[in-house]
Amino acid sequence: MVVSERSAGDLQRLQEHIDHERDALRRDRFRAVLLALEGKEALVIADQLARSRRSVQDWVYAYRDGGIDAIQPKPQPGRKPKLTPEKEARLRARLDAGPTAADGVCTLRGKDIVRILEKEMDVKHTLGSIYGVLDRLGYSCLSPRPRHEKNDPKAMEQFKEQSPFLSKP
């Protein structure tokens, strides 16, 4: 596969992209072009990278026609998020405030958040997708169990001291 000669700067930039790229597909794009510039054939490159010959050809031709920037993958359009930035801010404030008396629970769980979104913000989410939303907002779905209102640390210490079943150091 013949690629028009590029400057040594391109070879260095390609190697830097390969060394620093964390995404395997992007890294393989840079590797394919670098190997083609070294004179390897598309079939050999495809075997080395475990990619299709056609993909390798597409990446190398894109580089030939537009340089390194042309082999960067284009951003893919995705589904419009259900929560607008304003609603995300409202949800974040609601979660930070904790459960209300109307919630009827001592700590909010995934199904409670689904209910809150539906009633207070008119947004429908499934239980499975709400965990992705929580992760994206920086919340963990795991939280320590709340202390019961009748929990008495002094009574627990007294039990530990007086219990014949607990070994003493």
Number of domains in the chain: 2
Residue 124 within any structural domain of the chain: yes
pTM of this structure: 0.47
Residues 44 and 94 in one domain: no
Q: What's the first-to-final CA gap in the chain, in angstroms?
A: 76
Domain span at residue 64? 8-71
Is 147 domain-assigned? no
Q: Which amino acid is at 87?
A: K
Output the tens digit of pLDDT for each of the chain's 169 residues.
Answer: 545 455 677 888 889 989 998 888 889 999 999 999 999 999 999 999 999 999 999 999 999 999 888 988 888 888 888 889 999 999 999 999 988 888 888 888 889 999 999 999 999 999 888 988 998 888 876 656 667 777 888 888 888 888 777 666 5
Q: Radius of gyration (Cα) for the chain, nearest Å?
A: 28
- Looking at residue 104, its pLDDT comes to 87
Same domain, 26 and 58: yes
Cα 53 to Cα 46, 140, 166, distances in angstroms: 5, 43, 69
Residues 60 and 96 in one domain: no
Task: Tell me whether residue 78 is in a domain.
Answer: no
The DSSP line for 102-142 is GGTSSS--HHHHHHHHHHHH-----HHHHHHHHHHTT--S-
Cβ atoms of 42 and 56 within 8 Å: the answer is yes
pLDDT of 30 reads: 93
